Amino acid sequence: MNLSKRLCIQSFIFILLSFILISSSSAQYFYQHEEFCMGADMSFVNHIQDKGAEWREKGQLADPYELFAEHGGNCARFRLWNNPQWTKQVYIDAGEEATQLYHDFNDVKRAIGRAKEAGLAVCLDFHYSDFWADPGKQYIPAAWAGLTFGQLRDSLYDYTFKTLSDLNKDGLMPEYVQVGNEINNGFVHPAGILDNNKANLAVLLNSAIAAIRNAGASSSINPKVIIHIAQPENVEWWFDTMIPAGLTDFDIIGFSYYTRWSQISLRDISQYVAHWKEKYQRKVMCVETTYLRKLLGTIPGADELEQMEPDFYPSVSAQKNYLVTLTQEIIDGGGCGIIPWEPFWVKGHRMVDAWGVMGSNWGNNSWFDYSNGNEVEATIDFLNYPYTGITGTLQQRDSMEVTIHLYGGGRIIADNAVYIEGSLTGGQQKIMSVISDTSWNYTCRLPAGSFHLFRFRHGIRSDNIPENYRVGNATDRAICVPDSQVTYLYTWNGGPTQPVPDSVYVTFQVDMRGQAVSGEGVYMYGNFFDAWGPRMPMTKICDSAWIKTLFLPGNREYWFRFFNGYGWENSEIPPIECRVGDKNRFFVTPAKNAGFIFQYNICGATACDTCGHAICDITPSNRAPDDPDPYFLRLNNDNKIIQVSYPETVSCLKVYDMQGRLILQQPVSRQTESLIGISSWTPGMYVLAFTDRSRTLKTKKFAVMW
């Protein structure tokens, strides 16, 4: 299977060639936890593995800790409960075999040992409870109930110090230690309720912190202390309250970020992280987050709707892109890590929790496909993405050698250096090797299936590529690295022109009859490029018809929809009988180049290669006598011939297809009109160039829809 997702390709004239040569062999960027934690909460792993859980990569059984490390993970997080007798009792109550406690010291010690063997750092999360601790519940351990405040303070110290000292004896001292879990209103209630006595809470926290410092003093590892607050909007008021109350000597502000419970936008996280780092002079880490990898049904449930972000409709690619986006936001703010919560949850086991057999809902937040033997998904590779702002070590793993050769077509001055920069260069400008006066190349290794934005630079200038090639701003290009050898063709101020094996050109035409078309135009939005977005402008070919041609892998399933205007509120709403997900259509790409006609807000599609005629002209069928543009084309009445008008200075007509190939070259001599037959042409977009003997005078883009 070709794993690459292909970009939209619609050609203009004047294609200046560059090519990408890709041969077998994938690069991953591995990061050191001291600079940035690429983490995962793996607390359930031992438990569910004991009860039959399995993880796979490429169909083969995989050790979860080793798998995590091999994909760039560098820190595993584990929760610790004081005496969770209930984790054994639930098996007895369910008539199952009860073998041990889980999430107690012995279980966590075993987990830390496995993580350390895999080369991972460890974040130990003291809940200071026998049960789950979060903003809604902070139950004091049963053994500490009834203690005086002083006794509780000392018990916190003794328990923390003994736990860490015992781990250290076996070389298992964690690199990071959390004092409590999501302690918005304190911990070890009722004594540690923030609202009741913030000074007492500070005393209790400082006692646990002192134990960490003292245990670390006799170890080669001195753990970093994390104070963990749920949701970004609660961070500032909490530390503004607790630092004056006496809280001191912690290293890292830890926060949970679940969009369903937060009003803070994903793309504002960097601002908050930078502000906290500057204000409190502490490092900042996101110690819990997650995102959906799929829907449990065909349409989102209420719980799923709460978790969904507009630009990340649930899918594996959306889950990965969400985590990449959040990670880059944290890095941009100067943060030091991200730890998604329980991504190694899978199905196919008999774990029993306080609410019975678990997993019916959390599986759609996992990094594993439980419908396919718990096969690891591409999401895990957000860990080794080439982020900007942190230093990664390039490691080879199923990588592709990528050579980008830029041909300037004589338009670039030879004595100036040409650079390439983007995610494929780790965000740095890299000078390209000079091949000739007008060509350069750059070679690197990239993960198969990885998505990269990049641009060329010459001096202080970036090439300004045509609109239909842009991803992001006017100078951003994109590639998706395939898993087999392939050659692309690119250029300065141009785009990719060489067809990719197993991919086809698909022309989407939407019939807008009966709709008041927005002045912003018509857009398409779908999961075409291993991501949901961007919304792509369609080309108007007449008042009622708009088209978009994409270059996509054949026989691939996609979801998409049309928009009458750019805003989310302008989405079409297909009838329920043909709707999938929220407001999406379902589409399978054909095995060969083809076009399809859709009707806005209506089910179904018509294959245009059986329609027998083009739907409408690129220009009005009748040109006004005083039209100032002397260059003109239109389809004649039978729609199989193009009528072309032009000034006498034109000496040759040239037509290029979407790949930049010359389809037709027709000399003309002192003529002002010509006819071009198009009955054998493939449906899609074309460019007509009007030339004289030395240069192009004018270009016109038009659509052929059979």
Residue 325 and residue 208 in one domain: yes
Classify residue 320 as left (phi > 0), alpha (psi -120 to 50) or beta: alpha
Residue 294 and residue 173 in one domain: yes
Q: How many CB atoms sit inside 10 A of residue 631's CB?
A: 16
Q: What is the pLDDT of residues 691-706, one digit of tens each?
A: 876 666 777 766 665 4
Tell me which of 378, 393, 408 is where a domain ends.
393
Residue 337 and residue 417 in one domain: no
What is the per-residue pLDDT for 505? 72
- Residue 413 lies in domain: 18-26+398-490
What is the per-residue pLDDT for 503? 64
Residue 441 and residue 512 in one domain: no
pLDDT averaged over the chain?
Answer: 81
Q: Which CATH number characterizes residue 647's domain? A: 2.60.40.3080
Q: Is residue 616 one of the residues assigned to a domain?
A: no
Q: Does the bond joining 190 to the residue before it have cis omega, within 30 degrees of 0?
A: yes
Tell me which of 363, 393, 423 is where a domain ends.
393
Residue 600 and residue 640 in one domain: no
Q: What is the pLDDT of residues 287-307, one digit of tens each?
A: 999 999 887 776 666 677 778
Lowest pLDDT segment from 97-111, 166-180, 257-271, 439-453? 439-453
Q: Is residue 643 one of the residues assigned to a domain?
A: yes
Contacting residues for 179 by C-beta, under 8 A, at least 6 apart: 126, 205, 208, 209, 212, 225, 226, 227, 228, 250
Residue 62 and residue 160 in one domain: yes
Residue 288 annotated to the active site? yes
Give which of 6, 2, 3 is closest to 478, Cα–Cα.
6
What is the per-residue pLDDT for 356? 60
Residue 387 and residue 410 in one domain: no
Q: What is the pLDDT of residues 306-341, one digit of tens each?
A: 788 867 878 888 899 899 999 999 999 999 999 999
Could you say which of 182, 304, 329, 377 is catalytic? 182
Q: What is the pLDDT of residues 452-470, one digit of tens each?
A: 778 888 877 777 776 656 6
Residue 182 annotated to the active site? yes
Instruction: Please state, for a pLDDT cut of 90, what percent of the chain lies above it.
Output: 43
* Comparison of pLDDT for 156 and 13, the residue scoring more: 156
| Domains: count for the chain | 4
Tell me which of 610, 642, 668 is where a domain ends.
610
Classify residue 433 as left (phi > 0), alpha (psi -120 to 50) or beta: beta
Q: Which CATH number characterizes residue 305's domain? A: 3.20.20.80
Is the separation of the CB atoms in 137 and 91 below 8 Å?
Answer: no
What is the per-residue pLDDT for 25? 32
Residue 320 and residue 345 in one domain: yes
What is the per-residue pLDDT for 635? 63
Q: Does the bond joining 575 to the residue before it have cis omega, within 30 degrees of 0?
A: no
Bridge partner list, 453: 478
Q: What is the pLDDT of residues 271-280, one digit of tens each?
A: 999 999 999 9
DSSP state of 362: G
**pTM of model > 0.75:** no
What is the per-residue pLDDT for 610? 33
What is the per-residue pLDDT for 474? 59
Highest mean pLDDT among 67-71, 419-423, 445-449, 453-457: 67-71
Residue 603 and residue 659 in one domain: no
Alpha carbons within 13 A on the beta-carbon side of 551: 24
Euclidean distance between CA atoms 628 and 291, whole angstroms: 55
* Comparison of pLDDT for 347 and 287, the residue scoring more: 287
Q: What is the pLDDT of residues 582-640, one digit of tens each?
A: 788 888 888 777 788 898 998 888 776 433 233 333 333 344 445 566 777 776 545 56
Could you say which of 70, 175, 288, 421 is catalytic? 288
Is the separation of the CB atoms in 360 and 301 below 8 Å?
Answer: no
Q: Is residue 580 one of the residues assigned to a domain?
A: yes
Q: Is residue 359 one of the residues assigned to a domain?
A: yes
Average pLDDT over residues 8-16: 24
Residue 346 and residue 381 in one domain: yes
What is the per-residue pLDDT for 626? 52
Bridge partner list, 101: none
Q: Is residue 548 one of the residues assigned to a domain?
A: yes
Highest mean pLDDT among 47-61, 623-637, 640-654: 47-61
Q: Is residue 106 one of the residues assigned to a domain?
A: yes
Q: What is the pLDDT of residues 91-125, one digit of tens each?
A: 998 888 888 999 999 999 999 999 999 999 999 99
Lowest pLDDT segment from 372-386, 472-486, 499-513? 472-486
Lowest pLDDT segment from 179-188, 302-311, 374-383? 302-311
Q: What is the pLDDT of residues 380-439, one digit of tens each?
A: 999 998 898 998 886 655 566 677 777 665 455 555 678 888 877 777 788 887 665 566
456: which 2 tokens?
A: 């060329």
Reported as a pLDDT band with limits 50, 70 and 90, residue 144 is very high
* Comparison of pLDDT for 189 and 665, the residue scoring more: 189
Residue 219, pLDDT above cutoff 90: yes
What Å distances lie between residue 685 and 221, 508, 539, 541, 634, CA to CA?
Answer: 63, 11, 10, 11, 14
Residue 148, pLDDT above cutoff 90: yes
- In this structure, the strands spanning 352-353 and 356-357 are antiparallel
Q: What is the pLDDT of residues 529-585, one digit of tens each?
A: 545 656 888 877 767 788 887 767 777 778 899 999 988 889 999 888 888 877 888
Residue 429 and residue 383 in one domain: no
Q: Is residue 620 one of the residues assigned to a domain?
A: no
What is the per-residue pLDDT for 686? 72
Is the separation of the CB atoms in 102 and 51 below 8 Å?
Answer: no
Q: Which CATH number characterizes residue 477's domain? A: 2.60.40.10
* Comparison of pLDDT for 176 and 641, the residue scoring more: 176
Residue 571 and residue 686 in one domain: no
Alpha carbons within 13 A on the beta-carbon side of 196: 10
What is the per-residue pLDDT for 128? 98
Q: Is residue 325 one of the residues assigned to a domain?
A: yes
What is the per-residue pLDDT for 311? 72
